[in-house]
A and B are shown apart, each in its own frame.
Chain A
Amino acid sequence: MARRENPEINAGSMADIAFLLLIFFLVTTTMNVDSGVSKKLSEKPPADYVPPVIKEKNIFEVNINRNNELLVEGERMEIKDLKDAAIAFINNGGGEGKVEDGIATGLCDYCNSVRKNDEPKTSESSSDHPNKAIITVQSDRLTEYGTYIKVQNELLRAYTDLRNRLSNKRYGMSFDALEESYDGDKTNEALRKKVEDIKTSYPQIISDAEPTS
């Protein structure tokens, strides 16, 4: 009977300890998820590789000089106009598509249906088919990286825009929504086919030329 009552543990400093931990985690925490413009490099060509001959009209040439100015198909252009120019080039549909696994893709039957009214009509001097349209970006070694990313972004936006339009036309939802629902349900064959269909209709072919020095 030495002790009459249980002495209470002093919890007054508990808050201090918790604060200390809290501040530690506050300082070390980084919430941002890494995101970026993703790109797939082409494989290293073998030594005896002969590049295929590509018609000049199927190549959309973008040059960025060391002062971060743009030269598109031989003409100066502002970055804000690049997207529309790229769309007009990709979605031209002036001829036969490429032959894949012995199957000719033929004329671009969807190019006209997704074209907006204010966009130029099919031109003989522009690309044959979206799957033949190649965009090549050549930059100077001293070009600013920020500008380079802006250009890449504009070109990707052109593709996204076209894919969205076609997807809206065919499946009644944007391509982003389509991909999202496929990501949520990877086993859905029908969705996979739809995504594949849009992707092959407008394949992203953006190549990087060796920079000038």
Chain B
Amino acid sequence: MSKFRKKKKGMPAVNTAALPDIVFMLLFFFMVTTTMRETDLRIENPRLPSASEVKKLEHKSLVCTIYVGKSKDPNRDGVGYNKIQLNDKIASADQVPAFIINARTKVSEAEVPFMTTSIKADKESNVGTITDIRIKLRDVNALKISYSASKGAGN
């Protein structure tokens, strides 16, 4: 019996010296792939429609995003899925031209024609809201738009 007891006594500790290395590796991975969220969402994260014919948006600096969806704070902004968020506040379609012109000041003039407006709208939003935005975009000659959608079967 005494022999067995001796063996139990010296329980070897797991070597954790490589743990920081592993963690650092993960850390660097996430540091490299991370992109900070630029704006706080005033609306609930829109449930994007799915489509099969989607194109990736390149050149993030040339993309300005308009969110449409349900407000997180219905007491202040009202209910319904048709709230428009520009930058980080709820706005109306009339403020879209100012938003676009403001975004244009941040890029060089040569790149303005390549600017794309990405509309991130909830599935349950109404086409009327989108049309209002579209008409305003046309007024300021922001003609490239992208209806944000997740890649899927489209059905």
Q: Which residues of A contact B (CB under 8 A)?
A: 11, 14-15, 18-19, 21-22, 25-26, 28-31, 33-44, 64, 79-80, 139-146, 148-150, 152-154, 156-157, 160, 208, 210-211, 213
Contacts and interface: CB of A to CB of B under 8 A. Distances in A.
A144 B123 CA distance: 7
Given A37-B146, A149-B51, A210 B131 contact: yes
Q: Ordered nearest first, which 5 A-B pairs have the shortest CB separation?
A: A141-B128, A146-B123, A25-B30, A36-B146, A156-B53
B128 A22 contact: no
Interface in B138-155: 138-139, 141-151, 154-155
Among B37, B124, B127, B139, residue most surrounded by chain A Cβ atoms (within 10 Å): B127
Range class of the B interface residue count:
35 or more
A40 B33 contact: no
B127 A148 contact: yes
B147 A152 contact: yes
B130 interface: yes
16 contacts: A14-B20, A25-B30, A25-B31, A36-B51, A36-B147, A37-B54, A37-B147, A144-B125, A144-B126, A145-B122, A145-B125, A150-B49, A153-B154, A156-B53, A157-B52, A157-B154
Contact of B121 (A11, A44, A145): A145
A181 to B, nearest CB: 17
Contact of B23 (A18, A141, A211): A18
Contacts of A150: 49, 51, 154-155
Contact of B145 (A25, A26, A35, A38): A38
Given A31-B33, A145-B123, A149-B149, A38 B24 contact: no
A143 to B, nearest CB: 4
Contacts of A30: 34-35, 37
Contacts, number: 161
A44 B37 contact: no
A208 B131 CA distance: 9
A31 B35 CA distance: 8
A146 B49 contact: yes
A152 to B, nearest CB: 7
A25 to B, nearest CB: 4
Interface string B6-25: 00000000001001100110
A37 B128 contact: no
A33 B63 CA distance: 12
A156 B141 CA distance: 24
B52 A39 contact: no
A33 B126 contact: no
Contact of B49 (A29, A142, A145, A208): A145
A40 B31 CA distance: 35
B148 A18 contact: no
B137 to A, nearest CB: 7
Interface string B23-46: 110110011011111000000000
A113 B119 CA distance: 39
B134 A34 contact: no
B118 interface: yes
